[in-house]
Structure 1
Amino acid sequence: MKSTSFKTALVAVSILFSAGYADVVLAHSGGAVTDAAGNNAGATDLVAVTCSDDGNGTPHHLTSQIKDQSGPVSGLLLSLHLQKGNQMKTATDSVSGDANYSPEISLNGGPGVYYMSITKTAAGARLFDIIWHCMTSDGQHTGTDIAVLQYDG
């Protein structure tokens, strides 16, 4: 994996940290609290993930998972949506507040920008963690960059 320059990484981490996404750029995982006030059932967070050839090969797909890290609340579930072009995949962490990630989803859209959104089924603040990786067709990690577009924290 080609390393990101320190200055670029620092700027990206600073932007994401200020939006509530700590440590997301370097590790391809991170989290935030969505709907911190707990009164917006329609809270949606949206990021753009750009998959590129960083020398490890042409991107083939984006994989991702979500984990609800808050305490259990009946009927309050988090979902992760991947979209590129006319394709979309969804995974739901089907047990509120357990220690497990949702099933991994993969969207085969090649290189370019994918949109990843996080939604929930009811009002209530939720701490979540997501993992994402751009991969080549033979399973090699390749260029993965992220930009926060909307944060309902």
Structure 2
Amino acid sequence: MKNTKKIMLATLLIAIGYGELVAAHTQAGSIGRKKSKAGGTDIYEVTCSNAGDGTGEPEHLYVDVKDLRPRNPAQVSIQAVLPANGAATPVSIDAKDSDPFPSPGYTLVGGSGPYLMTVNKTRSRKAGAEVYLVEFHCQSAAGAHTGIDWVMKQNQ
């Protein structure tokens, strides 16, 4: 009986986690090397589109980043940029390493097409990589999730 309850609980937790992933897009990554203090930047190209499912045309891209373990004095930040005209969100820094809260979220209005998402790690006085989790969404003006595709362009 105890094993059945554990299996049911595990299945429920997986289902809840899966349901959250359906509504959100996340990308995990790391910047830096085990024996280096250097900073670096990962770059993703995100393409927002009309998914053709009735959610409408994309109006903006939303981004935030969470600095995960291991703890390192380096700061992790994110910024979204429109390559067509150079418009950008403010740099959003996750001020507290390894806590459950991401950096402040920002939106960049640019409609359909490509956006660049840059994730940065500052130089640190302690060697080691920084691990992060980015959350991002292409959304309509009404807040509905629209079509999205992404590819990593630079991995440092």
TM-score norm. by structure 1 comes to 0.76
How many positions carry a matched residue from both structures?
128
**Looking at CA atoms only, which structure, 1 or 2, has the larger radius of gyration?**
2
Cα offsets for 1:38-96 (capped at 9, x unmatched): 5252311001000000122111000011000023333x110001000221112110112
Distance 1:51 1:40, change over 3 A: farther
Cα offsets for 1:94-118 (capped at 9, x unmatched): 1122221111110011110000011
Counterparts of 2:103 and 2:56, CA distance in 1: 27
Q: Is the 8 A contact 2:24 2:136 kept in 1?
A: no
Unaligned runs of 5+ in 2: 1-20
Residue 80 of structure 2 is matched in structure 1 by 82
1:126 equivalenced with 2:108 (yes/no): no
Root mean square deviation of aligned Cα: 2.0
1:46-125 equivalent positions in 2, closer than 5 A: 46-55=43-52, 56-74=55-73, 76-84=74-82, 85-89=85-89, 90-123=91-124, 124-125=128-129
TM-score norm. by structure 2 comes to 0.75
Unaligned runs of 5+ in 1: 1-23
**Runs of 4+ that moved beyond 2 A:** 71-74
